[in-house]
Chains A and B, each alone.
Chain A
Amino acid sequence: MPGQVDALTVSVWRGAAAGRYVDYQVPHRTSQTVLDIVTYIQRRLDPTLSYRFSCRVGVCGSCAMTVNGVPRWTCRTHVDRVAKDRKLEIGPLRNLPVIKDLATDMRAFFDKWARAKGQFQPPATPAADFARVDPASAARREADAAIECIGCAVCYSACDVVAWNPDYLGPAALNRAWSLVNDVRDAGGAERLAAVSGDAGCHSCHSHQACAERCPKQLNPTAAIAGLKRATLKAALTGAL
């Protein structure tokens, strides 16, 4: 085959919550991604393999899986960077229920964005004029926190607090909330701060930075969550919370 170097042994999770890793032999090529491997298995070796992807260029956030124990976006992860001794282990994301094989049920992840009030909240009376936002202002720069987020759930899957405390909203939802706290046009205010407080929210984050370590877009949810901790404290001290 063109560009083929050698063969890889790829262990892939098959089944739902109960299941097992099954080995496949896949030709190893240059510039091959982990998603290419999964696609090869599904097209050539076992058409019953279930997985999720769409854009293949790191935009849609649907292809995340656990690769050699670490959550990653598979369409932009090169095999040469992660394979060890020509072996690869590919499983579903952690912290989400497995539907089948590599596809997880992501409802809890997105429901928590809603619970963190992760949607823009317009003021009761529409603004009379365009908001003028200085691109260099501190708030505008903080609002960048989530703009590049593709909703892949890699951070959510990497976070131990999510694993240990199932109510925890998680890094992506809190990161999104921090963007809105810094959006001068948003009227979510104290209500959003209340939604992201406490045992399910920012105060449960222990700053281990697994989220920032693994985010494929190099976002830093830990820093955003620290911002929420300060904002909630300020609101509590001034009686707004």
Chain B
Amino acid sequence: MSARAQTYLWFAQRLSGAVLALCVAVHLATIILAVQGGLSAAEILGRTRGSTAWAAFYAAFVLAVAVHAPIGLRAILREWTLWRGRGLDAAVALVGVGLALLGWRAVGAVVG
């Protein structure tokens, strides 16, 4: 990877981290404040069904995490295992794609 690409890789993780900081703050507030006294599907779906605002919020949340977590995973695997190089880069990219697809499927399920 070129110096420029590696710099962007680092920045992508920090930028997605900053987006996640907002998302996670909202998420924590929701699960603590809005969900008093136990969860039910009706409660969750009542909030999310048909809401474009929640759909957009969760879709962005998923995208940020699908960028952020694989780059973190790459650093951890490089440092704590012997796995390096293109194989590793491809594998963590695949993890990112997997997270995004699974996440968006879940978003579709709760807003659809």
Q: Give the residues in chain A near B1, CB-CB below 8 Å.
A: 198-199
> For the complex, is A130 an interface residue (Cβ under 8 Å from B)?
no
Cα–Cα distance between A195 and B2 once the two chains are bound (Å): 10
Interface residues of A in 90-138 (CB under 8 A from B): none
Write out, one digit per residue, whether chain A residues 152-196 have a CB within 8 A of any chain B CB (1) or not (0).
Answer: 000000000100110000000000000000000000000001110
Using Cβ atoms and an 8 Å threshold, which residues of chain B touch A197? 3-4, 6-7
Main secondary structure of the interface of A (DSSP, over half): helix
Q: Return chain B residues, CB-CB under 8 Å to A194.
A: 3
Once the chains bind, are A204 and B7 in contact (CB under 8 Å)?
no
Provide the A213-232 mask, 1 if CB < 8 A to any CB of B, else 0.
Answer: 00000000000000001001
Q: Does A236 reach chain B (CB closer than 8 Å)?
A: yes
Interface of B is mostly: helix
State in angstroms the CA–CA spacing of A112 and B10 once bound together: 22
- Chain A residue with Cβ nearest B78: A165
Q: With the chains together, A161 CA to B1 CA distance in Å?
A: 20
Tell me the complex Cα distance, A203–B7, Å: 7
List of B residues within 8 angstroms of A161 by Cβ: 79
Contacts of A70 in B (CB 8 A): none
- Closest B residue to A241 by CB, please name it: B4
Which residues of B sit under 8 angstroms from A203, Cβ to Cβ?
A: 6-7, 9-10
Given the interface pairs A193-B3, A198-B3, A241-B3, the reply to whether A229 lies near B10 with Cβ below 8 Å is yes
Chain B, 57-79, contact with A by CB distance < 8 Å: what is the 0/1 string?
00000000000000000010011
Cα separation A199 to B6 with both chains bound (whole Å) = 7
Fill in one digit per residue for B21-51: 1 if any A CB lies within 8 Å of its CB, else 0.
0000000000000000000000000000000
Chain A CB within 10 Å, residue with most, of B9, B10, B78, B80:
B10
Asked if A233 is at the interface (CB within 8 A of a chain B CB), the reply is yes
A191 nearest CB across to chain B (Å): 10
With a cutoff of 8 Å between Cβ atoms, the chain A residues found around residue B83 in the complex are none
Contacts of A232 in B (CB 8 A): 3, 7
Whether A236 pairs with B79 at a CB distance below 8 angstroms is no
The distance from the CB of B101 to the nearest CB of chain A, in whole angstroms, is 28
CA of A198 to CA of B6, assembled, Å = 5
Chain B: which residue is nearest A203 at the CB level? B10
**Measured between alpha carbons, how far is A204 from B74 in the docked complex, in Å?**
11
Q: Please encode chain B, from 2 to 20, with 1 for each CB lying within 8 Å of some chain A CB and 0 for all others.
A: 0110111111000000000
What 0/1 readout, one digit per residue, does chain A (1-18) give for beta carbons within 8 Å of chain B?
A: 000000000000000000
B26: shortest Cβ distance to chain A, in Å?
Answer: 26
When distances are taken between beta carbons in the complex, the residues of chain B under 8 Å from A201 are 6
Q: How far is the CB of A193 from chain B (nearest CB, A)?
A: 7
Given contacts A164-B80, A197-B7, 4 further A-B contacts (CB under 8 A): A165-B79, A193-B3, A197-B6, A236-B7
Give 13 A-B contacts (CB < 8 Å), ordered by A residue: A165-B78, A193-B3, A195-B3, A197-B4, A197-B7, A198-B1, A198-B3, A198-B7, A203-B10, A206-B75, A233-B7, A236-B8, A241-B7
Chain A residues in the interface with B (C-beta under 8 A): 161, 164-165, 193-195, 197-199, 201, 203-204, 206, 229, 232-233, 235-236, 241
Could you tell me which B residues sit within 8 Å of A by CB distance?
1, 3-4, 6-11, 75, 78-80
List the 3 closest pairs (A to B, CB-CB), nearest first: A198-B6, A164-B79, A197-B3
